[in-house]
Amino acid sequence: MKANIVVGGFYGDEGKGRIVGYLAVKDNPHCVVRAGGGPQAGHTVTRGKKVTQIPSGFTNPSSRLLVGRGTIINPAIVLKEIEQFGVEARIGIDYGCTVIEPQHLEQETELVKRIGSVGTGTGPARAERVMRSAKLAKDIESLKPYLTDVADEVNEALRFGEGVLIEGVQAYGLSLLNHKFYPFVTSQDTTASQFAADVGIGPKAIGEIYVVYKAYVSRVGKGSMRFEWTEEQAEQRGISEKGTVSGRVRRLGDFDMDLAVKSMIGNTGTQAAITCVDRLFEGNSGVRDFSKLTDEAKRFLDSVGAHLKSKSPYFNRVALISTGPDSEDTIDLR
């Protein structure tokens, strides 16, 4: 058995939480594992249900929920989300997760100004980990009931042939290691390989890799963005968005095919998911059958699929299409 991974294809907020929420129910994995990031990565799973630290796979009540050692945690936020979603009995936090402390929030004010960071202390806490002076989850008394070795749990699940779904955060266009995007990036690499390491599995244990795109591009904070819409253009299309964590208005623009290809290749993605098709193309809201999409939407999806296929040898198809905020508003072509 191999673990499937979901990653972002643009600059984050493509709707990964929404897609993981769907896959967790549909594929019924034994465990859903959050990889990487910190409380700066907000996921809207279904209408009004947002998480920043616990896995978006809470949608399946029979899945075990795990937070891998590569994730930076703010214990107060973790505990709040555990309670809010009533997942006390089925969540495990890795002993080795790095902990955010008050000084990390202060240290981030400079980054907020300079590169538009969200300001949750994630980057400075990670820097502290690199300096080998960070506190880990195992040092925090209030987390004791939930502590576990996530790598052991995941590798055992795979050994027994059970399904594992790994939830990546942010996106290819925010990777720390990309010289073109730097310094307007997050504090880690954001590809499938990194997310595998974040939960403690090696590359050979990876199965399907889902790259999630929105039908248009959105970006919170500073940094390059091609085909950005003016306020007027956004108004014409009737689309406006605010950040899940930051509350800031998101910059919007046309689907960036070059970035989509780079991110498919850099992840060795095998499947694509495209969200918010209904927001970009009128008349597609809640459609659950490909044949019922408008011609315009079909043409767009077919051309994205054909283009990705022509560029990436690992890519199979646009497997998931989302046409509304609820899990059921999904076209599943797998």
Active site positions, annotated: 13, 43
Residue ranges in 117-136 that form contacts with ligand GTP under rule CB under 6 A = none
- Binding segment toward ligand GTP, per CB under 6 A, in 12-20, 73-81, 130-138, 223-231: 12-20
Could you tell me the smallest distance in angstroms from the CB atom of residue 296 to Mg ion? 27
Planar angle of CA 225, 226, 232, nearest 5 degrees:
90
Comparison of 72 and 151: residue with beta carbon closer to Mg ion: 72
Q: Are strands 317-322 and 330-332 parallel, antiparallel or unpaired?
A: antiparallel
Q: Does 163 bind Mg ion (CB under 5 A)?
A: no
Q: Does 12 bind ligand GTP (CB under 6 A)?
A: yes
Residue at token pair 């939407």? 297
Q: Does 108 bind ligand GTP (CB under 6 A)?
A: no
Beta bridge partners of residue 99, listed in sequence order: 73
Comparison of 45 and 143: residue with beta carbon closer to Mg ion: 45
Q: Where are the alpha helices (DSSP H) in the chain?
A: 16-27, 75-84, 102-107, 109-115, 122-130, 150-159, 192-199, 231-237, 257-266, 277-280, 295-311
**Separation between Cα atoms, residue 73 and residue 64, nearest integer Å:** 19
Q: Does 188 bind Mg ion (CB under 5 A)?
A: no
Comparison of 43 and 251: residue with beta carbon closer to ligand GTP: 43
**Separation between Cα atoms, residue 189 and residue 169, nearest integer Å:** 10
From candidates 59, 74, 322, 327, binder to ligand GTP by CB under 6 A: 322
Residue ranges in 4-43 that form contacts with Mg ion under rule CB under 5 A = 13, 42
**Separation between Cα atoms, residue 44 and residue 42, nearest integer Å:** 7
Residue ranges in 135-194 that form contacts with ligand GTP under rule CB under 6 A = none
DSSP 231: H
Question: Which chain residues interact with ligand GTP by CB under 6 A?
Answer: 8, 12-18, 42-44, 47, 241, 244, 275-276, 278-279, 322-325
Question: Which chain residues interact with Mg ion by CB under 5 A?
Answer: 13, 42, 244
